[in-house]
């Protein structure tokens, strides 16, 4: 119970830090929850939801959201202060750890330590499929930013893989260019920096939609199975979808993503590659 209370207080401290950094009016409530705190009790859920909503409103208003370094604090808490049994009971497929450590094409030296902490995170879930998703700001062409975001993802993936205890851990680099910005229509350098990032994620097939979902599934297929005629066919289908009316292609992207995922699962779980 003392450990649970400690975790509760640490989560409140992190929420307070996020709120203060973003000028959000927040006063932690008195928690009377009697179970082990995993950050999912009614009080924690209500406070987390409130802060997420306020951050979303800031983003929609075009304001920069200051979360640099705070995600690593939350991750360190989950790794160090929650027991193995508690971690297994958490919905790990919802975990996403974002870091804002890119200065155009290069990683910022002061954030290399955060990658070491990411490695600790990966070692906690050796049976999971991990994605390292690279993102860019919106300046430049789509093709240029797709290459740049993938380069960032590959850089972090290779760094992580070389430091993991279990060499069988699956880490897939994905480049999503500027398709998933934290701040849409960014106009100043502070906002652009919020969009130049990489996220370490436990794969969840429902996290992305549209073209982003297709790019994720293509990356997983290529990493786990390799280049083959099916992969080439899927890439050609994506090219054709890119050329059709934007008003009708979104659902077609989702359908293609599911098709790629089904082909991968069929191959890995008893299917044959042609």
% of the chain exceeding 90 in pLDDT: 36
98 or 4: whose pLDDT is higher?
98
Q: How confident is the model at residue 118 (pLDDT cuts 50, 70, 90)?
A: confident
The mean pLDDT value for 225-246 works out to 95
**If you average pLDDT over every residue of the chain, what do you get?**
78
DSSP 8-state code for residue 110: G
Residue 149: both structure tokens together:
């975001």
pLDDT bracket for residue 222 (50, 70, 90): very high
For residues 81-85, give the mean pLDDT.
Answer: 42
Contact 108, 101 (CB under 8 A): yes
Strand, coil or helix: what is 133? strand
Whether the predicted pLDDT of 229 surpasses 80: yes
CATH homologous superfamily, domain 95-204:
OmpA-like domain (3.30.1330.60)
* Of 123 and 174, the one with more pLDDT: 174
Q: CB-based contacts of 144: which residues, under 8 Å, 6+ apart?
A: none
Of the listed ranges 6-10, 103-107, 133-137, the one predicted with least confidence: 103-107
| 121 Cβ contact partners less than 8 Å away, ≥ 6 residues apart | 75, 79, 97, 200
pTM of the model: 0.67
Could you tell me which residue, 152 or 190, shows the higher pLDDT?
152
- Mean pLDDT of the 125-143 span: 93
């Amino acid at each position: 119970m003392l450990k649970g209370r400690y975790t509760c207080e640490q989560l409140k401290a992190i929420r307070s830090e996020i709120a203060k950094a973003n000028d959000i009016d927040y006063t932690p409530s008195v928690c009377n929850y009697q179970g082990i705190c995993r950050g999912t009790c009614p009080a924690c859920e209500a406070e987390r939801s409130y802060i997420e909503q306020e951050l979303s409103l800031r983003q929609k208003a075009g304001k920069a959201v200051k979360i640099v370094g705070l995600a690593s604090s939350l991750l360190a808490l989950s790794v160090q202060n929650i027991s193995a049994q508690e971690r297994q009971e958490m919905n790990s497929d919802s975990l996403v750890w974002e870091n804002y450590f890119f200065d155009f094409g290069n990683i910022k030296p002061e954030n290399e330590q955060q990658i070491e902490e990411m490695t600790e995170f990966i070692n906690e879930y050796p049976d999971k499929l991990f994605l390292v998703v690279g993102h860019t700001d919106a300046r430049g062409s789509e093709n240029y930013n797709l290459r740049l975001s993938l380069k960032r993802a590959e850089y972090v993936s290779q760094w992580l893989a070389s430091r993991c205890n279990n060499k069988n851990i699956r880490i897939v680099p994905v480049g999503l260019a500027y398709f998933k910005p934290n701040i849409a229509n960014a106009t100043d350098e502070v906002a652009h920096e919020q969009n130049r990032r990489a996220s370490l994620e436990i794969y969840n097939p429902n996290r992305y939609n549209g073209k982003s979902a297709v790019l994720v599934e293509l990356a997983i297929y290529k990493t786990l199975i390799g280049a083959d005629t099916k992969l080439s066919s899927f890439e050609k289908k994506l090219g054709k979808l890119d050329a059709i009316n934007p008003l009708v292609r979104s659902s077609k992207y989702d359908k293609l993503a599911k098709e790629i995922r089904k082909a991968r699962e069929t191959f890995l779980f008893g299917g044959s590659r042609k």
